[in-house]
Amino acid sequence: MDNQMILLNNAYATRQNYIRGVRALILYYQRLPENCTVDELKAFLVYERDERGQSASTVNLRVCGLKYYFRHVVHRLDLVVRIPNPRLSKYEVEILSIEEIKQLRRACRDMRQLLLLSLLYDTGLRVREVARLGVSDFDKHHRSIHIRNSKGQRTRVVYYGEELRLTLNRYCKARGGVPKDTLLESYKIAGHPLSNRGVQYIVRQIVKRSGIKKRVSPHTFRHSFAVHYLNAGGSLKQLQFLLGHKYITTTLLYLKHVKPEEGKRISVLDVALSSRVK
């Protein structure tokens, strides 16, 4: 199953989540999924939700993994169509204010933590993208970062500002020079990149010290970047590219959090005929 997903260029996280769901079912019944009845499949999903306390989104991943297995691995379409997907509860994403961003920066204990937060917020990168950053991904002349083979095997370029440039310089000085390859090294293994869990752990500790009561994860900085970028006058289409969204409809979800500048009057006719307006 994993080899097939690799050949289809499925994202690493997707592969892991789908395989985890299929493995959980095999361990639960001690037999292959295709040897289970539909009622047994449903009972397993109920067990995952009610007994193990898995969220609707996690159970949905279990369903997607099983459907992928039945559709592409063992070709049991009869089982695919008879497994229901749970209804996902809608929830509001947390958006940090400018003051909360500053508060979190003040709670950083060293330059590595400050650099991590600055990268997450100033670029809107995903956890895995930040953890994998290497020195060779940076172009200091254009203040850009090359994100290679990210979600969906897409490659893109993001940009950073003056404050992040200064933080990068201070980080390198604190380390005694520019890192050879990995930008953010693991605390435990020298020379190895920071893991996804390592990024999440550092953010949790910073949030705890800051006293902020919101549910803040590394992905919260990505949401905050998107909303603040649009509030600052950024283009929706450019934001789609910076975030690496395949579809503009995903980017459009941020519009409900945007607060346009009040009191600014714009005449589109005057703009259109600006050559006449003196």
Catalytic residue numbers, as ranges: 126, 151, 219, 222, 245, 254
In the sheet with 138-139, reading across from the earlier edge strand, the strands are 138-139, 144-147, 156-159
Residue 25 to residue 224: CA distance in whole angstroms: 37
Q: Are 1 and 22 within 8 A, CB to CB?
A: yes
- Rounded to 10 deg, the angle between the 12-29 and 56-68 helix axes is 90
Structure token digits, residue 139: 């172009």
